[in-house]
Structure 1
Amino acid sequence: MSMGKRYPLALAALAALLVAGCAQPWQNFQTGEPESAVIARLGPPREVYDLPNGDKRLMWPTQPMGEVTTAADIDPSGKVVTVRQVLQVNELYKAQIGTWTKRDVLLNFGRPVETAYFPLMKRQVWTYRYQEDNVWYMLYNFYFDDQGILRLTQKTPDPMHDPGLGLR
């Protein structure tokens, strides 16, 4: 094989190695591992919630400035059920309008980066930063009525990453 053909192959192999070496915090965990193994790798969780099924959820958010929250579900015997990144579209879209409450949003996504109340709408909004398709920096908003029931969701560009959208 000539040098001209080996060079692109070597670059492709190097790129694949670099990508493989960039495992995300929620990757490389096995079902059944002890909770202590997750904590040893990720550090103490910043949020811990008891789930309705008896499991508990440990969370490692990167907010207020980051777009990632790693969540580990641990069964009652202290074993890993799942570890995943929860601030992504396939997780955010699970929220059920008219059914979910503030507690459901908290259990699934952790504490919001920001909260606000809109008196004319009679809605409280919880905001989370996330990155859509690993490209677009976005805000995901959950709007709750005065009884704490989810009534609306909305996604918008994150002005922190687009100075043209910010206030001047």
Structure 2
Amino acid sequence: MLIRFSQALAARARLAFLAGALALAGCAQPWQQFHAGDDAQAVIARFGPPREVYDLPNGGKRLMWPTQPMGETTTAADIDANGKVVDLRQVLQVNEFYRAEIGKWTRTDVLVNFGRPVETSYFPLMKRNVWTYRYEEDNVWYFLYSFYFDDDGILRLTQKTPDPLHDPDRRSLF
């Protein structure tokens, strides 16, 4: 009797595991359906016309589909001069932001890498232009990532702060 019970329990556990694995398989992000070498037109057919297009140094293009101002993602497709996908990814994430080089990157570098910011500001006492992007970290935490530029357009500082849009104590302020 005990053996049958444990066998039934093991069978249920296997079924639960398989159901969970299938559910996770359905969680693949849209940009993960494409690979290097795929035709750019297939990407455009899936996502629609890009909202932003930037020239890349190698003669290719970066196509972008942002969800800002209220969303936290921007899908970017790097396309080579032959119209083939080189790379396709979600760029509003911390490992992408950390690539920005203080003292070297310009506003153009930030624009091409992350698209148009959700918000721009100028702090006169600091003499800094600030571009801010909304993003979600680890699929749990909502943040704003800000890039501070000097008057010559050179990146001088970055900052990560909690997004007040998702703070339950501050929602009544917006």
Please give the TM-score of this superposition, normalised by the length of structure 2.
0.92
Q: Which residue of 1 aligns with 2:167?
A: 162
Q: Which residue of 1 aligns with 2:58?
A: 53
Are residues 18 and 5 of structure 1, via their aligned partners in 2, closer, same or farther at CA, if it must alter by over 3 Å? same
SS at match of 2:19: helix
Runs (4+) off by over 2 Å: 163-168
Larger Rg, first or second structure (1 or 2): 2
Q: 1:76 aligns with which of 78, 81, 85?
A: 81
| Counterparts of 1:84 and 1:7, CA distance in 2 | 37
| Counterparts of 2:46 and 2:24, CA distance in 1 | 20
| Counterparts of 2:127 and 2:54, CA distance in 1 | 28
Q: Is the counterpart of residue 112 in structure 1 residue 124 in structure 2?
A: no
Are residues 167 and 147 of structure 1, via their aligned partners in 2, closer, same or farther at CA, if it must alter by over 3 Å? farther
Q: Which residue of 1 aligns with 2:33?
A: 28
Q: 1:136 aligns with which of 127, 141, 158?
A: 141
Q: 1:94 aligns with which of 92, 96, 99?
A: 99
| Counterparts of 2:30 and 2:123, CA distance in 1 | 36
Q: Which residue of 2 aligns with 1:39?
A: 44
| Counterparts of 1:166 and 1:98, CA distance in 2 | 36
1:109-135 Cα shifts (integer Å, max 9, x gaps): 000000011111100100001111222
Report percent identity of matched pairs.
70
| Counterparts of 2:67 and 2:30, CA distance in 1 | 11
Q: 2:12 aligns with which of 2, 7, 15?
A: 7
Please give the TM-score of this superposition, normalised by the length of structure 1.
0.95
| Counterparts of 1:63 and 1:140, CA distance in 2 | 13
Q: 1:18 aligns with which of 14, 19, 23?
A: 23
* Paired residues, number: 168
Code of the residue aligned with 1:46 in structure 2: it is R
List gaps (5 residues or longer) in structure 2: 1-5
The Cα RMSD (Å) is: 1.3
